[in-house]
């Protein structure tokens, strides 16, 4: 997998602190966004623990990196273990101090494994793929509003503006047996993968995200343009984006 990746995080226009964190490690082929929650700086603690533990766990598991490791089953197992480890550490921290009750974090991860991209997530941070003009979500939010959408009780449009849209139904730090949802995709030349916190997709529609990505072929420009667009729309939350573009031309 020959790709160029860039990441950017921004506090936004309304919040005093940035509780998001991201990880971009081309050697490991590991890209992740975590969106922390909980008062008294707890969100920052949770997202930081998630990101640092993911990296440490994969490194110590003997993971050989994006280029050499091509065993998808082994990669899935390494990723599950890394997320379990991160969850366990956050749960222990939550239990250690009264003021950290309710602390947690989402996480969305892309792990490159040879020609495959493993996509894992917990919570409402998202992964998207732009391929040959086709733009789609690779993750399904673990959120109350998305459950209502799946049940046919809310439309996507209603969910987007719903007062309970921030309620996450699955997060690291909430319970010891958190389930990582895993998918995978084959990398193709020209693919653009986007990982983001909900600060992006709560301010912009999927169509706006798609047109911004298409207008900015370089990952660095795309990250800047996405964050600027979210802030121009109000910047109500922290916004974090990682854009990974696979080199080569799209197959026709
Ligand atoms: Ca958020």
Indicate the pLDDT class of residue 69, thresholds 50, 70 and 90.
Answer: low
Residue 252: is its pLDDT beyond 60?
A: no
How high does pLDDT run on average in the chain? 93
User: 197 C-alpha vs ligand 1 centroid, how far in Å?
Assistant: 6
Give me ligand 1 centre to Cα 43, in Å.
10
What mean pLDDT do residues 182-187 have? 95
pTM: 0.95
Give distance in angstroms: CA of 51 to centre of ligand 1: 16
What is the whole-number distance in angstroms between the Cα of residue 199 and the centre of ligand 1?
5
What's the gap in Å between 194 CA and the centre of ligand 1? Answer: 16
pLDDT band, residue 20 (cuts 50/70/90)? very high
As a whole number of angstroms, the distance between CA 246 and CA 191 comes to 5
**35 Cα: distance to centroid of ligand 1 (angstroms):** 5
Q: 13 pLDDT band (50/70/90 cuts)?
A: very high
One DSSP character per residue, the chain reads --EEEEEEEE-TTT-SS--EEEEEETTTTEEEEEEEE-TTTHHHHHHHHHHHHHHHHHHHTT---TTT---HHHHHHHHHHHHHHHHHHHHHHHHH-GGGTT-EEEEEEEEEETTEEEEEEESS-EEEEEETTEEEES----BHHHHHHHTTSS-HHHHHH-TTTT-BS--BTS-TTPPPEEEEEE--TT-EEEEE-HHHHTTS-HHHHHHHHHH--SHHHHHHHHHHHHHHTT--S-EEEEEEEE-SPPP-
Report, as an integer, the average pLDDT of 166-195: 95
User: What residues have a C-beta under 5 A from ligand 1, the ion?
Assistant: 35, 197-199, 237
- Provide mean pLDDT across the span 108-128: 96
């Amino acid at each position: 997998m020959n790709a160029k990746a860039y990441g950017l995080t921004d506090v936004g226009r309304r919040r005093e602190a940035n509780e998001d964190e991201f990880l971009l490690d081309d050697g490991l082929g590991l890209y992740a966004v975590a969106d922390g929650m909980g008062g008294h700086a707890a969100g920052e603690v949770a997202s930081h623990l998630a990101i640092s533990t993911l990296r440490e766990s994969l490194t110590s598991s003997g993971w050989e990196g994006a280029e050499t490791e091509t065993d998808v089953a082994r990669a899935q197992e390494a990723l599950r273990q890394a997320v379990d480890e991160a969850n366990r550490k956050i749960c222990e921290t939550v239990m250690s101090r009264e003021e950290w009750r309710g602390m947690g974090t989402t996480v969305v991860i892309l792990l490159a494994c040879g020609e495959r991209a493993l996509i894992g997530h917990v919570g409402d941070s998202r992964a998207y793929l732009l391929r040959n003009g086709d733009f789609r979500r690779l993750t399904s939010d673990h959120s109350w509003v998305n459950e209502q959408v799946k049940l046919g009780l809310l439309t996507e449009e209603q969910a987007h503006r719903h007062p309970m849209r921030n309620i996450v139904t699955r997060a690291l730090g909430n319970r010891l047996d958190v389930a990582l949802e895993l998918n995978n995709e084959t990398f193709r030349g020209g693919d653009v993968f986007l990982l983001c916190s909900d600060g992006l997709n709560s301010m912009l529609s999927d169509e706006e995200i798609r047109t911004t990505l298409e207008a900015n072929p370089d990952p660095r420009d795309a990250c800047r343009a996405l964050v600027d667009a979210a802030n121009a729309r109000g910047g109500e939350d922290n916004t974090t984006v990682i854009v990974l573009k696979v080199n080569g031309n799209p197959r026709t």
